[in-house]
Amino acid sequence: MNDKLRAFSGQIVAVVIALAIGAVIIMLIDESPTKVFMTLMRGAFGDQAKIAGTLLQTTPILICGIAACIGLRGGMFNVGIEGQLFLGGFAAAWVGFAMPLPPGLHVVVAMTVAVIAGAAWVSIPAFFRTRYGTNEVVSTILSNYVAVLLTSYLTIFLFKRPGGWSETPPILATAYLPELFAFSRLNWGLIIGLALALFVAWFFRSTAKGYSISMVGSAPKFAEYGGIDVKRQGFMVLLASGAVGGLAGGIETLGVHHRFMEGFAPGFGFDGLIAALLANGSPIGTIVTALFFGALRNGSLLLETDTNASREIITVIQALIILSVSAQVLMKRRGDSTAGERRWKF
Amino acid sequence: MSTTSPATAQTAVELIGITKRFGAFVANEDVNLTVKRGEIHAIIGENGAGKTTLMNILFGLLQPDEGKIRLNGQDTVVGDPATAISAGLGMVHQHFKLVPSLSVADNVFLGMEIRRNGLIDHATQIAKTRELSERFGLKVEPEERVSLLSVGIEQRIEILKVLARGARTIILDEPTAVLTPQESRELFQTLRGFVAGGMTVIFISHHLEEVMEVSDTVTVLRHGKHVATRPTAELTKADMVRMMVGRDVSFDRRPREKTDGQVVLDVKNLWARDDRRLPALRDATFTVRGGEIVGIAGVAGNGQTELAEVLSGLRPASHGSAMLKGSDLTALSTAAIREAGLAHVPGDRLVRGVDGSASISSNLLMGRQNKAPWSRNGILDWRAAGNQAVEMIKRFDIRARGPEDTVKRLSGGNIQKVVLAREFTNDADFLLIDQPTRGVDIGAQESIHDEIMRQRASGRAVLVISVQLDELLTLADRILVMFNGRIMGEVDGGSADSERIGMMMAGLEPGIVSDEVAS
Ligand SMILES: Nc1ncnc2c1ncn2[C@@H]1O[C@H](COP(=O)(O)OP(=O)(O)O)[C@@H](O)[C@H]1O
Ligand SMILES: [Mg+2]
């Protein structure tokens, strides 16, 4: 418990440092940091509709964050969530417009296909990782580009809505994820995301499988010695992570856009990964960090109209957070002055 | 002690009344230490006795809460390592601080680079490194990259770094912990050269043979306090152990009943390759019976690691079989081998034996996460796991704050006890114990040996691999000696002659060497 608190205090310091540097940058462009932050807050939580908007942005970040958490806990760095999200989004759209089904069932089938698409997409890097030890970071990053371009190709050349933009035909109303309120596109996706976070947290904490996977993540040689099939677990972890990434895409399609289009949901996969890292791979923590990033995104819409700061300042702050979280991790390693000693001394 | 006579010029280092606290914990309490110029002064003590802390204070890395330091007869406030270095001190730390991607010479001069026209003058650095290396007999190749070098050579570079900074008094913190016996011997040679040239060496160790071999004077610390400082020649090993532990510790051969168990492990013509794909285990054939302890002796790196890994499923065999009560271990996965009845205490316990970042309960759960009462229908019962941990902490005398304590906070001996607790309570018929007490305090060694004898008495088949021959002479019913991947012969543990075993460990025993052509 104490250790957990300490681990998080590092993350909080990282965020504070990032915000402080962000403030300095804002001052450099002759704008008032308080004004910018107040505008952000107003943009994110100013009224009912804004809060709903923030939660709408939070949903895909949260689900992608959970996908990343699954990978991180199992020792796999899935940087391909963005790509899995695109494929899941496209797959769900395809079921949505091309496969008429009764209401309810249509949603379930479309989501399932999205999940399968995400898992299938990551299964290629997962196979190479398990079979040949190919670093999954590189292969999943590369798979993003292929995914984005592949879905663009499918959209523009095979399934383009006649006369429309670079987008597929709209999905049938039977495949819509129900909305929660009349005044916002906020939908059941948020509930699914929250439930998933709770489930994954419980899974790692309380099941034998979750224990085995965590051990593979934190001490792979120990896990191997203890009789856990490390390669198999690694493969399954990547698959599960990709499946959740696909789910995130499916929810975006069925809940928000009701079609697939080029440039669909940009950057949610990466934001989710950062949210998960900032939460130390904890799904519950990711709820908080995803909300933070969702609020930044939504709040930033107001920035350009109400202040001189560009919306890109949000990207800068995120980059600063990544840097200071990495620095924290490095410093923590250094701070444990006995780490090297323990490595040598039995 | 209390005088400030000019005679102190004869002393290189004097620590007077040093006390250091970390919070409420007292790591050094009123410690006095006088190191004469030109001697090799060993500092011994169990893990956590405060040796490293004391040296860090001397070197200016930590500030004492009380006490003072006199260097070369002068009262000195050692506020930082720079002060210590300018007073002629140098320290080789327990863990090395080299930059792997740089060359040997660049590492030696790191932070004091020789420059010409503002740029690093590599040629001069290389020449100077070569000169130092030749002058002190520390063979290194200055242009090589550190990442390609062995630990023994890395240590030489650390020593060269210290020499390049003009040290006359050199502190080495457990320098031999990472060395092979051969490398240790070379190090001792170097140290003797230093003192012959008028330098002073402070040498921390808990290998008593080494201390006997190399030091002139011994200082013993226990629980942060200074126990004694004596000329090495006046002390026996038993004296040192008594002072370190605070009581008599017996490493006499354990008394035992004769047993007549069934064959549990039957190894036949077992071969395996090492990581470089060269044969490392050659044609091993032996048995282990229930109620019997078989020891494997040998200098580290003669195939023992590979043998242990093959028996536990972590390395494939290239030929041969190892039957454990009817199942051939060479054909099974690690999980299936555990199912078949193996308990395994691994040699590299920090990598294989535990997850340092997890709690004691969680570490004790490994291998049981799918079994009742620890889990039902795939759902873990952490209460049962916690109860188990509490029980084992008591039974194995694990010094920890509680079952939720993180394993990496524990001392080496207590981490080993966590591993033993898990493996010894597995109800396995065959116990494979690799280096039971490596790096474990002497006091704890005794209780680990007690526990191994108890396992024998309960009818288990025990295979103990150890590079410490004494340990095998204490425990084993039979000792197999390995050299170059081969079992050179077998001796009875009760009547073993360590001289003869030593010959076999060096591959020098004729008549037993098998006549097969080495591959
Ligand atoms: N920075 C520190 N903070 C708290 N406790 C420490 C610190 N450094 C050492 N200790 C404690 O002080 C004791 C002595 O440690 P050390 O000097 O490293 O022992 P030795 O080198 O004799 O094994 C140990 O119990 C250790 O846990
Ligand atoms: Mg130490």
pLDDT for B151: 78
Domain-embedded: residue B226: yes
- Report how far ligand 2's centroid is from the alpha carbon of B254 (Å): 31
* Residues in CB range of B69: below 8 A, 6 or more apart: B13, B14, B15, B16, B18, B57, B58, B75, B76, B77, B78
Pairwise CB contact (< 8 Å): B366 & A215? yes
| Separation CA A108–CA A247 (nearest Å) | 11
How much is the pLDDT for B509? 64
Tell me the nearest-neighbour CA distance from A47 into chain B, angstroms: 43
Q: How many domains are contained in chain B?
A: 2
List the single residue in B375, B404, B408 with the smallest CB-CB distance to A208: B375
| B45 in contact with ligand 1, CB cutoff 6 A | yes
The verdict on residue B514 lying in a domain is no
Report if residue B519 sits inside a domain: no
Whether A331 has a pLDDT exceeding 70, the answer reads no
What percentage of chain A has pLDDT greater than the value 90?
A: 66
**Is the Cβ–Cβ distance between B447 and B436 less than 8 Å?**
no
| Domain with B445 in it | 263-505
| Predicted pLDDT at A6 | 65
Q: Any chain B CB within 8 A of the CB of A5?
A: no
C-alpha B297/C-alpha B299 separation (Å) is 7
pLDDT of A341 higher than 60: no
Distance from the Cα of A139 to chain B's closest Cα (Å) equals 26
B52 lines ligand 1 (CB under 6 A): yes
For residue A343, the chain B residues in CB contact (below 8 A) are 95, 350
Region B368-394: mean pLDDT is: 95
Sorting pLDDT into bands at 50, 70 and 90, what band is A330?
low
Residues A148-173: what's their mean pLDDT? Answer: 89
In a shared domain, residues B474 and B437: yes
Q: How far apart are CA B354 and CA B400, in angstroms?
A: 15
Question: pLDDT at residue A333 above 60?
Answer: no
In chain B, what residues touch A229 (CB-CB under 8 Å)? 333, 335
pLDDT score recorded for residue B232: 96
Of the listed ranges A170-174, A242-246, B273-277, the least confidently predicted one is B273-277
Which residues on chain A are in Cβ contact (under 8 Å) with B412?
345-346
Phi, psi of A119 (to 5 degrees): -65, -40
Q: Which of B456, B438, B458 is nearest to B255 (CA)?
A: B456
B63-66: list long-range contacts, CB under 8 Å, 24+ apart.
Answer: B64/B18, B64/B19, B64/B20, B64/B28, B65/B19, B65/B20, B65/B21, B66/B17, B66/B18, B66/B19, B66/B30
Is the pLDDT reported for residue B8 higher than 50?
no
Which of B459, B450, B396, B453 has the alpha carbon at shortest distance from B422?
Answer: B396
- Bridge partners (DSSP) of residue B478 are B294, B492
Examine the domain organization and report whether B50 and B178 are in the same domain.
yes
pLDDT, one tens digit per residue, over B320-356 is 999 999 999 999 999 999 999 999 999 888 889 999 9
**Contact between residue A110 and residue A118 where contact means Cβ atoms under 8 Å apart:** no
Q: B224 C-alpha to center of ligand 2: Å?
A: 12
The residue among A12 and A120 whose pLDDT is bigger is A120
Other C-beta atoms lying within 10 Å of the C-beta of residue B351: 15
Instruction: Answer yes or no: is B425 within a domain.
Output: yes
Answer yes or no: do B74 and B191 share one domain.
Answer: yes
CA distance B284 to B516: 13
pLDDT number for residue B351: 85
- Nearest Cα residue to B207 out of B174, B250, B252: B174
> Shortest Cα distance from A80 to chain B (angstroms)?
28
The CA distance from B129 to B124, in Å, is: 8
| Residue B490 domain-assigned (yes or no) | yes
Same domain, B231 and B285: no
Q: Which residues of B touch A219 (CB under 8 A)?
A: 354-358
Q: How far apart are the C-alpha atoms of B230 and B240, rounded to whole Å?
A: 10
CB A260 within 8 A of CB A151: yes
Number of DSSP helices (H) and strands (E) in chain B, helices first: 16, 24
**What residue type is assigned to position A53 of the chain?**
G
Which residue, B245, B279, B305, sits at the end of a domain? Answer: B245
pLDDT of B1 over the 60 cut = no
- Which of A207, A227, A340 has the CB atom closest to B95's CB atom? A340
The answer to whether residues B209 and B297 belong to one domain is: no
pLDDT band at A17, cuts 50/70/90?
confident
Q: Is B47 in the pocket of ligand 1 (CB under 6 A)?
A: yes
Among chain B residues, the shortest Cα distance to A211 is held by B369
Contact A219, B356 (CB under 8 A): yes
Domain membership of residue B452 (yes or no) is yes
pLDDT greater than 80 at residue B439:
no
Q: What pLDDT shows up at residue B82?
A: 92
pLDDT tens for A75-118 read 999 999 999 999 999 999 999 999 999 999 999 999 999 999 99
Q: What is the pLDDT of residue B414?
A: 87
pLDDT at res. B515: 40
Taking CA atoms, B361 is separated from A189, B356, B382, in Å, by 37, 12, 8
Name the average pLDDT for chain B.
90
Joined together, the tokens standing for residue A161 give 């809505």
DSSP-derived letter for residue B274 is: -
pLDDT score recorded for residue B453: 96
Is some CB atom of chain B closer than 8 A to the CB atom of A334? no
Q: Which amino acid is at B133?
A: S
pLDDT (average), residues A212-224 = 94
> pLDDT value at position B208?
86
Q: What distance in Å separates residue B443's CA from the closest CA in chain A?
A: 16
Look at ligand 1, atom 1, and give the residue with the nearest C-alpha: B22
Question: Quick check: CB of B50 below 6 Å from ligand 1?
Answer: yes
Cβ separation of A215 and B356 shorter than 8 Å? Answer: no
- The average pLDDT across B227-251 equals 90
State the average pLDDT over residues B65-90: 93
Contact B362, B385 (CB under 8 A): yes
Contacts within 8 Å (CB) and 24+ apart, B405-411 = B405/B359, B405/B360, B406/A3, B406/B356, B406/B357, B406/B358, B406/B359, B407/B354, B407/B355, B407/B356, B407/B357, B407/B358, B407/B359, B407/B360, B407/B363, B408/A342, B408/B356, B408/B357, B411/B47, B411/B48, B411/B441
Query: What's the pTM?
Result: 0.78
Model confidence at B180: pLDDT above 90: no
Q: What does the pLDDT read at residue A3? A: 57
Burial A265-302 (b: 16+ CB within 10 A, else e): bebbbbbbbbbbbbbbbbbebbbebbbbbbbbbbbbbb
Q: Is the pLDDT of residue B84 over 90?
A: yes
Q: Six-digit token pair at B483?
A: 């050299």
Q: Does A2 touch chain B (CB under 8 A)?
A: no
Q: What does the DSSP assignment read for A224-243?
A: HHTT--HHHHHHHHHHHHHH
Q: What is the pLDDT of residue A4?
A: 61
| pLDDT at res. A329 | 62
**Contact state of A226 with B366 under an 8 Å Cβ cutoff:** yes
Indicate the DSSP class of residue B363.
H
**C-beta of residue B214 within 8 angstroms of C-beta of residue B176:** no
Residue A339 reports pLDDT greater than 60 = no
Check whether residue B221 and residue B344 sit in a common domain: no
Q: Any residues with CB less than 8 A from the CB of A258 and at least 6 apart, and which? A: A96, A170, A171, A176
Clarify whether residues B313 and B232 are in a common domain: no
Chain A interface, best mutation among B98, B337, B366, by max A CB count within 10 A = B366
Q: For A207, phi and psi rounded to 5 degrees? A: -115, 155
What CATH number matches the domain at A2-343, 3.40.720, 1.10.3470, 3.30.1490, 1.10.287? 1.10.3470
A1, pLDDT greater than 60: no
pLDDT in the model for residue A310? 82
Of residues B3 and B14, the one with the higher pLDDT is B14
pLDDT digit string (tens) for A269-289?
Answer: 999 998 998 898 999 999 999
ipTM of the predicted assembly exceeds 0.95: no
Co-location of B444 and B343 in the same domain: yes
Instruction: Provide the greatest CA pair distance for chain B.
Output: 80
* Nearest CA distance, A204 vs chain B (angstrom): 10
Ligand 1 pocket, mutate which of B15, B20, B25, B56 (most atoms under 8 A from CB): B25
Q: What is the mean pLDDT of residues B254-270?
A: 93
pLDDT at B147 over 90: no
Domain-embedded: residue B518: no
Which of A222, A227, A339 is closest, CB to CB, to B355?
A222
Distance CA A231, CA A241 (A): 15
Same domain, B274 and B219: no
- Domain of B200, CATH number, reads 3.40.50.300
Paired sense of beta strands B25-36 and B11-22, if any: antiparallel
- The verdict on B322 and B416 lying in the same domain is yes
Q: Are residues B315 and B226 in the same domain?
A: no
Going by pLDDT thresholds of 50, 70 and 90, the confidence category of residue B142 is very high
Q: Is the pLDDT of residue A63 over 70?
A: yes
Handedness of CA B21, B22, B23, B28 (dihedral sign): negative
Nearest CA to ligand 1 atom 8: B53
Distance CA B466, CA B448 (A): 14
In a domain, B3, yes or no: no
